[in-house]
Structure formats: structure tokens, C-alpha cells
Amino acid sequence: MLIALQYWRGDEQQALSLARFLADIEPHRRDDVILILARAWNCPLSTEAVKVREHCAKKMRTILLQSGVERSGHPDGCYGLWAGTVGRLYQLHRDGVLPWDFATVATFEADGWPVRRDWIARLKTAHARTLERGLRITGAVMDEPIPHVNGNMVMELSVWGDFPSLHTCTPQVAWDVLHAQVLMPLARPCNVIRNEYGTRDWTAGCLSAVAREAAWVHGVKDDSVAEIVRGWARAWA
């Protein structure tokens, strides 16, 4: 599985801190995942990003990647980062640069956190169930403004190649909403990824209850989840 942490200049430090954490909670080096540090088209490669890649590479293969899709602001920049990341990974996979068995990508933004030490295994198990049903996307399905699968999801790279309509997006429209007609029929709604957009002040009890099903929580607008998970990680060690 490819795990793409996507960031722009405004949340680079948050993303790089998260990447370090993901490496640190792994007890041993693993070869079944590749971590992608994916930055926006107008985000220069920083010295810190290079250092984080070196740090994470001790636990898993880690790649620095820059989106080539020039979109800025919100929501356009979100599309540019996602499309530039997935499109480039699809090309690298098609060209044989990435191992052929790495055909699945988890696209995550910097405001997410794993809520279990075995979060990768749980994502892989959940997505395997998706594939068994003949579907290609695992994620949180949202009802507003229309039913759509949130862009923090696990997806087969083949989706990018099979649906050229994904290669563009109307300005000022959220890409996962605009492309709902394509993505929803391919998606299995699953609580393994939880979109908790706009929430704050999480408690350990509430997060522990969510973690019974979820492996990844994103969209929280304060540091409450990060602080709780960092505390849990001391027990995971």
C-alpha cells in the first residue's frame, strides 16, 4: 500500500510531524508500505522534509513527491494536490518505477491521525473486503451537500487511469463532491476512516470508543486527538 501524506506550505510542519510519528510507532522496518511525502506544486522542497524522509526511511521506504497540478486556495488547491499526487503515482506505477504490487494508495491530508497502532493492517483488511465486493474505494461517505466519498480514502490507482474525467475539476468546487457520480459507485462506505470535520475538544474516552472501528480520524480542528494519540503511543512502545 502507498500512503500519501499531502501538504501545502501552510501545513507542512504538521504533515512532517505526523510522518515522523507514523515511522516512530512502527516497532520494526516494514516492506509492505511506501510512504509518500506529497507537497503542493508551489511548496519548495525544504531541508526539514529531506530530514523527515531520511528519518522515516529507517522504518519504511519513503519518497518525496511534488504535485505538478497548479491549483491554489480552497478548494482548488486541495484538488491540485490530490490530482497531482495520484496522477504521478499512477504514472510511476504504470512505468514500473513503483513495484507492481503497490497498486493501492491511501490519500491523507495533514489533519489526520492514526488511532490504533495497527492502523495500517486495519486499513489493508478493510480495503481487501472492498476489493472482494468488486469495488475500488474504501472511505467515509458524507451526506452533504450531496452523497460523496471523502477524499481521505483508500483507492486503487486504476481508478485514475479508467476515469479521465477525474483529471480536471471545476474551479471553486470541492473535487470529491464534483466527482461523486464517478467515485460513489466504486466506494464501500467504511468506518475504518472517520471524517470528524470541524470537531474539537476530544476526550480519550470518546476517541477510544471511535478506535474500536476506526484506524484513522481526520478533520479535527484542534490538537486534542494528536495529544491523546501521542499519549497512547507511549504505551504502544
The predicted model scores a pTM of 0.96
**Phi, then psi, of 234 in degrees rounded to 5:** -65, -30
Q: How many domains does the chain have?
A: 1
The list of the chain residues with pLDDT below 70 reads none
Please give the residue range of the domain that contains residue 23.
Answer: 2-236
Q: What is the pLDDT of residue 189?
A: 94
Q: Which residues pair with 64 in a beta bridge?
A: 37
The strand pair at 34-39 and 2-7 is best described as parallel
- CATH number, domain with residue 49: 3.90.550.10
Contact 111, 202 (CB under 8 A): no
How many Å apart are CA 193 and CA 123, to the nearest integer? 8
- pLDDT tens string 70-108: 999 999 999 999 999 999 999 999 999 999 999 999 999
